[in-house]
Structure 1
Amino acid sequence: MNLRGIVAVSGRPGLFKLVGQNKVGYILEGLDAQKLKVVANITNTKLASLEDITVYGEDEEIKLVDVFTKISAKGTTPDTKADTSVLRAYFNEVAPGHDEDKVYASDMKKIIGWYNLIKDLPLFTEDTPETQGTPAEVKLSEEKAAADKKQKATGAKASNAKATTKTSAPAKKASMTSKKGV
């Protein structure tokens, strides 16, 4: 199952395919029938790659890919509007060992909805490539690393500037007092 390049966007329903990136943000294409293209702003939009999402487990985290594999092996899914007890019983079968206190009914509905969106796509049956990702994903990770590096450097420069200001201010006062005394 190849979930590389498929992302969930905070504040937007459904799933999107990462198509590319421009100055403003990430270019995403909806996986639904409309194929709506969206530009998600870099500064205020959170993207979560389905490949990286995990489900809280009692002992260890359960990868979403593993949950999807068990759902496809089971063959059927309950309706996302089903009762919480029905969803909980189904989730106990497809994700045994999940933490029932941390995994809410809304999380289960979202995962089942995601599965229903991607089950008919060709990428659902392909194997995950062993490469680092699509060019857009590689660029995404590189830019994120560069932004983190820039933020750390900016934070360091700001703290150095404060230190310089504090150091230089007393030196000016000292020189002014020495001139007055002369």
Structure 2
Amino acid sequence: MELKDILAISGQPGLFKFIAQSTNGIIVESLADERRTNIPASSKVSSLGEIAIFTEDEDMPLSKVLDALFAHTAGKETISHKSSPDQMKALFAEVVPEYDRDRVHVSDMKKIISWFNILVGAGMTRFTPEEKAEKENNAEK
């Protein structure tokens, strides 16, 4: 399962895995309870593979943020998305020290922390696609 196949749907709690295209929208499966449902084409759907956060230099893909969180927590779930704003800001300062403090809001941190905990709970351990990770490793050499 790759991050590009994981969807956040406006108005729906949790994350969903893309299953198939339907005549009226898309069929998705909840990562929490594995229930399948049809999402109408009029819904706002975002792929986690296309989301990035603001940093001081350039936008950082969500996959890199999630990989940094995974390394920071040693593969375990992190603090709750219901933690205090100060705790969330402290966590982000440790994990992504260059995040833009003016444009990344607590609500954004809350979503990312919630998504991370859902993904780790669903057994996901790699967030960067393998081909992209190989290209980055070759570029560094």
Distance 2:61 2:2 in 1: 13
Distance 2:127 2:62 in 1: 16
Task: For structure 1, list consecutive stretches of 5 or more residues without a partner in the other structure.
Answer: 131-182
Residue 97 of structure 1: SS of its match in structure 2?
coil
Tell me the residue number matched to 2:28.
28
Q: Deviation digits for residues 89-122 of structure 1, max 9, x if unmatched?
A: 1111112211112111111111011111111435
Assess, with a 3 A threshold, how the Cα gap between structure 1 residues 111 and 126 changes in structure 2: closer, same or farther. Answer: closer
Tell me the residue number matched to 1:48.
46
Residue 35 of structure 1, CA deviation:
1.5
Tell me the residue number matched to 1:37.
36
Aligned length: 128
Tell me the residue number matched to 2:136.
none
Identity %: 36
Residue 93 of structure 2: SS of its match in structure 1?
helix
Letter in 2 for 1:63: P
TM-score, normalising length: structure 2: 0.82
Q: Deviation digits for residues 7-51 of structure 1, max 9, x if unmatched?
A: 10111111000000111000011000x212121111x21111111
Assess, with a 3 A threshold, how the Cα gap between structure 1 residues 82 and 17 changes in structure 2: closer, same or farther. Answer: same
Q: Which is richer in strand?
A: 2
Q: Which is richer in helix?
A: 1
- Indicate the RMSD between aligned Cα atoms, in angstroms: 1.9
Larger Rg, first or second structure (1 or 2): 1
